[in-house]
Amino acid sequence: MYKTRVLQQNYHNSKLKDTTKTWCYQTIHTILNNQTYLGKMVQHKDIKISYKDKKKRRLPKEQWIIVDNTHEPIIDQETFDRVQAIQKIKRKSVNTEYSDNIFAGILFCADCKHAMNRAYAKENKKGSIGYICKIYKTMGKKYCPSHMIKNEELEEAVLSSIKNEARKILTEDDISDLDKVQKIDSREQFYKKQIQIVDAELEKYQKFKKRAFTGYMEEMITPQEYRSYVAEYEEEISKLERQKEEILTKLADENSLQNQHDEWVEAFKDYINIEKLTRDVVIELIEKIEVHEDGGLDIYYRFRNPFQVAN
């Protein structure tokens, strides 16, 4: 529609349906994986099989030519990478009124690490009642103990965990975390000041080198003196450059902690009073869930507060 109405091109879509004008799955899939939206130019994706034939063969991604920053991006790298990760989650569509299978591709056995399969009641084949370890179900307890959890128990536990994680943002206990954030800000300013001092010293020794060269050219100092001065100045410059690199590393570590904290707050701030789980919420917040034999859960969130000690 854009090509015909806006660009006024003589374009015909053979797959166009009369009933709808919405994009098909393949179109959306192509858009979600298109690095052009990241501001990159991607070339050499296909190659002709023969100069006599118009047919092309798709090349492996490692052979593509990708050039960064060729134009302004409309999506950031973090969001693009997040979309790629979501697409890799294996999921199976379940057409049933009993469950929408919101944990597909995320639920695993804590012992054998294999995926949990949906469990069905013998007298009711229409809907699942929960999840069971795939290895136990197919191979028996000789290979893995029984790991079974009901839908209601799983959803209630995950919902409670998300609420607890979200409420940590506003609890009194989080004040200590805020203090740590303030300390990071203070250290960040300290490191930036240290870098300014080191840069000033570097500039000073660079000037000393230039003066030594001028003195040598004007025969104010001997060649031996010139070499001695330059060696001394270059040694100091090397020390200062190593010192600056160490400070930059510490500054990067501080910024990383701050970014992790900000991401954690941003991810959970809207779920303090969440009442119902959805597939979107689960995918956004949770990387994986492992189920123990006693029904206990290990929930691995995609975001964490770096100032909280893991339990």
Asked if pLDDT for residue 33 goes beyond 80, the answer is: yes
Mean pLDDT value across residues 188-208:
83
Share of the chain above pLDDT 70, in %: 75
Q: Which residue has the higher pLDDT, 49 or 73?
A: 73
Q: What is the Cα–Cα distance from 33 to 124, expressed in whole angstroms?
A: 41
Q: Is pLDDT above 60 for 197?
A: yes
Q: Which structure tokens are listed for 268? A: 């959970």
Report pLDDT for 32. Answer: 92
**Mean pLDDT across the chain:** 78
Whether 135 and 293 have beta carbons less than 8 Å apart is answered as no
Tokens read off for 185: 């800000």
pLDDT of residue 175: 43
Q: Per-residue pLDDT averaged across 224-245, rounded?
A: 88
CA distance 160 to 277: 10
Q: What is the mean pLDDT of residues 115-142?
A: 80
- Res 96 pLDDT > 60: no
pLDDT of residue 106: 86
- pTM here is 0.48
At 253, list the tokens: 């570590």
Of 308 and 287, which is predicted with more confidence? 287
Res 15: pLDDT = 67
* Cβ contacts of 159 within 8 Å, gap of 6 or more: 274, 275, 276, 277
Whole-number Å distance between alpha carbons of 93 and 42: 33
Q: Among 47-51, 228-232, 255-259, which is the least confidently predicted range?
A: 255-259
pLDDT exceeds 90 at position 305 = no
- Determine the average pLDDT of the residues in 173-202: 67
8: left (phi over 0), alpha (psi -120 to 50) or beta: left
Q: Using CA of residue 91, residue 92, residue 96, residue 98, what is the dihedral sign? A: negative
Q: How confident is the model at residue 290 (pLDDT cuts 50, 70, 90)?
A: very high
What b/e readout covers 106-140, taking b as 16+ CB neighbours within 10 angstroms?
Answer: bbbbbbbebbbbbbeeeeeeeebbbbbbbbbbeee
